[in-house]
Structure 1
Amino acid sequence: MKRNSVQRILAMLCFIGILFTGCSSAEQKNSAEMSMSSDSAKMEGAAPAAQEKTDQPADTTAPAKETPSVVENRKLIKNVEVRMETTEFDASIGKIEASVGKFGGYVEGSSVSGVSVQENSSSTRSASYTIRIPANKLDDYLKEAGTIGNITSKQIMTEDVTSQYFDTEARLKSLKMQEERLLELLKQTGSLKDVIEIEKELAAVRYEIEGLTTTLKRYDSLVDYSTIRIELTEVQSFTQNASTLGERIGATFKKSVTSISNGAQGLLVFVIGNSPVLLLLGAGGAVVFFTVRRIRRKKNR
């Protein structure tokens, strides 16, 4: 009996231990599953946020601060030389002077020389103009000039003075700062020797400032107003630009005939205009000739 009782007690203890172990395992399993579920939920909740964050690309295309165009900052000086001819000299001069005012420019210099072709075929009139036209109206003015006469040549020259201009401007700014510092020192010093030295330095700085200011004004004038030099010549007929061989031969033949005609007319004008002198020279020559001839005859006898 005792042995059976002991076996029963042991069996009951084993059963209780097994039962306790099973419950403990189930609890741990449930706890682990709950922990995994919680972690999964956190990861799932974080994943969209993370993906949403990575789906938005970094804004690397933000517009940079725009700087003025290099072309707009250039300081360009334009000089134009135009040669033209006209059969109506007086009218062409009037058109030149009227067109200058039309485009807001001014005549810097002009000259007229020669005699009209109507009075003397061997001499023609010519005019020279130096004109200043606003740079932004240069192209329009050149188109207008094409209607004044027959343009035989046109040359446009552009000089870029950008670096010289801004170097001068920077130097001028530096000198003005130096001038301000010298003026402050002049106020603070009390020594006569220091005052003399500062005023001497100040005079040198101001002299240089004046020179650079004049240089900048000259640059501004040349950049803002283009310079056009027009050479106008009076002709009887316009020069033809021949391209083919036949046209070149015809133009050269016509030019030769015109030269011969002008030469003959010039000779005729010379003979008639100087006929009194020529008659006196002829009479003197005749007297000398007959006198010499008579002397020779006397010697031969």
Structure 2
Amino acid sequence: MKSIALFFVLFFCFSGCKKADDGLDMKISEIKLPPKEASAANTFYDKAESNTQTKEIPQNIEQKIIKEGNLRFETNDLTVTYTQIQNAVKSYNATIQNDTEGKDYQSVFRRIIIRVPSENFDVFIQSISKGVVYFDNKEISSQDVTAEYIDIDARLKAKKVLENRYLELLKKATKVSEMLEIEKQLSNIREEIEAKEGQLNYMQNRVTFSTITVEFYKPIAEQSGVTASYGMKIWTAIKSGFNSISTLFINLLSIWPFIIFLIAIIYFIRKRFKTKKT
């Protein structure tokens, strides 16, 4: 009788452990990543807060606006214009991100990329535009990314709630296979969390600091202050003609074997015609 009683005790213990393990496995299988096609609000509130009442997205949300500007104009003095831009950068807490100087066929130019706090965007444009008669190019753009920002933020919160669920299951896991499976899911979720945090940080940085590209130039003729006279133009034409003759002579030297061959053919043809006439 004692052996039979011991048998039933072991049987019930084994059955209880098995049911607990099966229950844990079912919990693991029931937790799934939110579908990508689901909306941000449904993803967050249906998955992340299934045990609480559904919340509504607040109506008074701070707008996320990305502002950018692109200016190009002519100036009489590159140094004075650059100094004016530097003063504006200091006054409005901006930063010069890139500064490029160059020279093309008709002008010398300077191109500056500036990051300025978004609240100072308009006054900064006005400050660096003082003294400009007209703009060759002036583009001001504003992009509203509020909806995109809210969507990414809601998905990020849902991933963090899902991460906490797996951490709770990890504490209850007793088998190595269960621990490995949970840690694998946690690794995938954390990668997605880091990616979405990176997207939010990048977007917030573009919202907080606007980008302005300023290019100003000065024609080379005005910079040098030299006007070519009629005699100078004649002398330039003579030099150009001499250079052309020199180039032709050099090209002829490069094909001298063909020239000798052509001269020989002409010589024999003329000699043959003279023989026929005689």
Q: TM-score range by the shorter chain?
A: 0.5 to 0.7
Kindly tell me: are residues 269 and 91 of structure 1, through their superposed partners in 2, closer, same or farther at Cα, counting changes over 3 Å? Answer: farther
- Give the alignment's TM-score, normalised by structure 1: 0.55
Task: Tell me, in whole angstroms, the C-alpha distance in 2 between the residues paired with 1:157 and 1:234.
Answer: 26
Kindly tell me: are residues 274 and 170 of structure 1, through their superposed partners in 2, closer, same or farther at Cα, counting changes over 3 Å? Answer: same
Kindly tell me: are residues 102 and 176 of structure 1, through their superposed partners in 2, closer, same or farther at Cα, counting changes over 3 Å? Answer: same
Structure 2 residue aligned with 1:174: 158
User: Which of 202, 207, 214 is residue 198 of structure 2 equivalent to?
Assistant: 214
User: Which of 136, 145, 167 is residue 128 of structure 2 equivalent to?
Assistant: 145
Contact map agreement 2:106 2:219 (CA 8 A) in 1? no
Contact map agreement 1:79 1:226 (CA 8 A) in 2? yes
Please tell me the residue identity of whatever aligns with 1:74: Q
Structure 2 residue aligned with 1:191: 175
C-alpha deviation, 1:101, in angstroms:
2.6
C-alpha deviation, 1:97, in angstroms:
2.9
Please tell me the residue identity of whatever aligns with 2:107: T
Worse-matched range after superposition: 122-131 or 169-178: 122-131
1:14-33 to 2 correspondence within 5 Å? none
C-alpha deviation, 1:160, in angstroms:
0.7
- Other structure's SS at 1:190 match: coil
Contact map agreement 1:87 1:237 (CA 8 A) in 2? no
Kindly tell me: are residues 283 and 220 of structure 1, through their superposed partners in 2, closer, same or farther at Cα, counting changes over 3 Å? Answer: closer
Whether 1:84 aligns to 2:68 is no
Please tell me the residue identity of whatever aligns with 1:140: V
Write out per-residue CA displacement over residues 172-231 of structure 1, whole angstroms, 9 at most, x where no aligned residue.
111111111111111111110001000000000000000000000011101111111112
Contact map agreement 2:69 2:140 (CA 8 A) in 1? yes
- Other structure's SS at 1:125 match: strand
Larger Rg: 1
- Other structure's SS at 1:159 match: strand
Worse-matched range after superposition: 94-103 or 178-187: 94-103
Task: Tell me, in whole angstroms, the C-alpha distance in 1 between the residues paired with 2:181 and 2:205.
Answer: 37
1:206-285 to 2 correspondence within 5 Å? 206-235=190-219, 271=237, 277=243, 280=246
Structure 1 residue aligned with 2:63: 74
Task: Tell me, in whole angstroms, the C-alpha distance in 2 between the residues paired with 1:273 and 1:180.
Answer: 82
User: What runs of 5+ residues in structure 2 fail to find an aligned partner?
Assistant: 1-57, 251-262, 272-278
Contact map agreement 1:125 1:234 (CA 8 A) in 2? yes
Please tell me the residue identity of whatever aligns with 1:215: Q
C-alpha deviation, 1:140, in angstroms:
0.9
Structure 2 residue aligned with 1:157: 141
Task: Tell me, in whole angstroms, the C-alpha distance in 2 between the residues paired with 1:159 and 1:130.
Answer: 19
Kindly tell me: are residues 125 and 270 of structure 1, through their superposed partners in 2, closer, same or farther at Cα, counting changes over 3 Å? Answer: farther
Task: Tell me, in whole angstroms, the C-alpha distance in 2 between the residues paired with 1:159 and 1:269.
Answer: 57
Please tell me the residue identity of whatever aligns with 1:83: R
Structure 1 residue aligned with 2:111: 128
- Give the alignment's TM-score, normalised by structure 2: 0.59
Identity %: 26
Kindly tell me: are residues 108 and 151 of structure 1, through their superposed partners in 2, closer, same or farther at Cα, counting changes over 3 Å? Answer: farther
Kindly tell me: are residues 69 and 186 of structure 1, through their superposed partners in 2, closer, same or farther at Cα, counting changes over 3 Å? Answer: closer
User: Which of 192, 205, 209 is residue 189 of structure 2 equivalent to?
Assistant: 205
Task: Tell me, in whole angstroms, the C-alpha distance in 1 between the residues paired with 2:96 and 2:78.
Answer: 18
Kindly tell me: are residues 275 and 173 of structure 1, through their superposed partners in 2, closer, same or farther at Cα, counting changes over 3 Å? Answer: same
CA root-mean-square deviation: 3.7
- Other structure's SS at 2:93 match: coil
